[in-house]
Structure 1
Amino acid sequence: MIELKYVDKRYPTSNALLYINSLTIETGEIVGILGENGSGKTTLLKSIMGLGELQSGEITIAGKPVLDQYERMAFITEEGSFLPNSTPLEYGEFLAAFFPRFDQPYYAELLQRYELPIRRAIRTFSKGQKMKLEMSAGLAKRADYLLMDEPFVGKDVFARRDSLKLLMSGLRGDETVLISTHLIDEIENVIDRAIVLHQGLVRADVTIDDLREEGKSLTDVMLEARQSNRHYAD
């Protein structure tokens, strides 16, 4: 499981922040990290990945420090981790050297599904192609913990659905998946749980089963979270 305790994360050059008193994500959960731009979604995922120091608190993966579990984790982000002058084939060879679980045949299959030019320099790719490459690399790591930061930005609705289907078809079933997004319609039928952030704080934490029993949707949860924030501010 992923555990956060008294986490305080801030950036000296921006207003971005994150404060979480206590948060546990169980093994095998598929969790949507929701919120508007600037709400703390990316900061949360980067903190779980161990990118940058915390002002205070601790984050553990299966009871161990994040850096001790790094080979079991994959981070899919618009920023990308690829070498811009390399080709997708060279990028795959690079990843295989550092990640023992990296599945090169599956990576090649994903590149083909996404119709990516495997021998062209990645720096020449469009924004959408780069995200498809990151999706392919992240899934091929066969990670136990898969963190995805706004993986559907810039895609039309059909491309988002295709990417989501590809993601779900590539999972073994026991992975812990965190998907940060402000596009909630596509993921409501995929996630087990939704965590709503606003200004670096958790404003809602609900399971989809509970929502359905209450006759509510993720849109309702987002609206309630905003209203509670306005009430808190008043």
Structure 2
Amino acid sequence: MIELKYVDKRYPTSNALLYVNGLKIPKGEIVGILGENGSGKTTLLKAIMGIGELQNGEITIEGEPVVRQYARMAFITEEGSFLPNKTPLEYAAFLSGFFPRFDQAYFQQLLERFELPARRKIRTFSKGQKMKLEMSAGLAKRPDYLLLDEPFVGKDVFSRRDSLKLMMSGLRGDETVLITTHLIDEIENVIDRAIVLHKGLIRADFLIDDLREEGKSLTDAMQEVRDTSPYYRD
């Protein structure tokens, strides 16, 4: 379980902020983190990954500090963590030295599925190719906790669907997955739960099965949050 208690995170050089208390994400749940630009989605994932210091509060994973769980986590982001002067194969060799679970054979399979050149310098890749490489590296870590920050940036609709299918096919089924995205229609049939952020605070938190029982779509629920919340009108 991921648990956040009285978490307060801010960046002195930007307006990004986050204040979350009592958020619990059970093991094995797939959660969509939704909201407008600047709502705190990326800040939330970075806080869970232990990137940057918290002003206050505590984040634990299975009752332990995040730093003790790094080997079981992967953060896939459009910013990228790759080494531009290396080839994908050299990058994989580098990662395997830090992540005992890193599966080089699976990584090479992903390179082939994404049609990525294994021996070309990463700096020559397009934005879309770099995102596919980032996803390949993250999945090849075989993580228990997978955090994806806008993983479909730079892809057309067909590439997004292929990437989503590939990501889901690569999961064992017991991973905890957090996805930030604006493409709510494409993840509605993938996620178990949606958390809506606005100005660094959680404004809604609902299960997708509950929406279906009410005959609503994720788009309907998001619109209701906007229409009924006074925070969207300030």
- How does the TM-score come out when normalised to structure 1? 0.98
Task: State how far apart, in whole Å, the 1-side matches of 2:19 and 2:233 are.
Answer: 17
- Post-superposition offset of 1:231: 5.6
Give the corresponding residue for 2:71. Answer: 71
**1:174 corresponding residue in structure 2:** 174
- Counterparts of 1:76-87 in structure 2 under 5 Å? 76-87=76-87
Structure 1 residue 102 displacement after superposition:
0.3
Q: After the TM superposition, which residues 128-147 of structure 1 pair with which residues of structure 2 at under 5 Å, given as runs?
A: 128-147=128-147
Post-superposition offset of 1:99: 0.3
- Hey, what's the Cα distance between the residues in 2 that align with 1:225 and 1:10? 25
Query: After superposition, what is the alpha-carbon deviation per residue over 1:200-221, rounded to whole angstroms, capped at 9, x for unaligned?
Result: 1111100000000111111122
Any conservation in 1 of the 2:226–2:232 contact (CA below 8 Å)?
A: no
| In structure 1, C-alpha distance between the alignment counterparts of 2:61 and 2:99, rounded to whole Å | 18
Cα deviation for residue 227 of structure 1 reads 2.5
Aligned ranges 1:134-213 → 2 under 5 Å = 134-213=134-213
Query: What percentage of residue pairs aligned between the two structures are identical?
Result: 81
**Matches of 2:106 and 2:202 in 1, distance apart?**
36
Unpaired segments ≥5 residues, structure 2: none
Q: How far has the Cα of 1:230 moved from its partner?
A: 3.0
Per the alignment, residue 23 of structure 1 pairs with 23
Say whether the 8 Å CA contact 1:146–1:175 is kept in structure 2.
yes
SS in 1 for 2:190: coil
Compute the displacement of 1:225 (Å): 2.0
SS in 2 for 1:173: coil
Q: What is aligned with 1:116?
A: 116
One-letter amino acid matched to 2:28 = G
**Matched residue, 2:39:** 39
Q: In the aligned structure 2, how far is the partner of 1:30 from the partner of 1:203?
A: 19
Secondary structure of the residue aligned to 2:31 is: strand
Residue identity in the other structure for 1:154 = G
CA contact under 8 A between 1:204 and 1:221: conserved in structure 2?
no
128-137 or 153-162: which moved more? Answer: 153-162
Q: Give me the whole-angstrom Cα distance separating, in 2, the residues matched to 1:144 and 1:117.
A: 28
Amino acid at match of 2:205: D
Partner residue of 2:90? 90
Match of 2:185, SS state, is coil
CA distance in 2, matches of 1:125, 1:162: 19
Match of 2:212, SS state, is helix
**Partner residue, 1:99:** 99
Shift of 1:30: 0.5
- 2:14 alignment partner, SS class: coil
Q: CA deviation at 1:7?
A: 0.6
TM-aligned CA distance change 1:193 to 1:53, over 3 Å: same
- Could you tell me how far apart the structure 1 residues matched to 2:204 and 2:84 are? 38
CA shift, 1:223, in A, is 1.3
Write the letter of the residue equivalent to 1:223: Q
- 8 A Cα contact 2:33 2:181, kept in partner: yes
What is the distance in 1 between the residues matched to 2:58 and 2:211?
Answer: 30
What is the TM-score when the length of structure 2 is the normalising length? 0.98
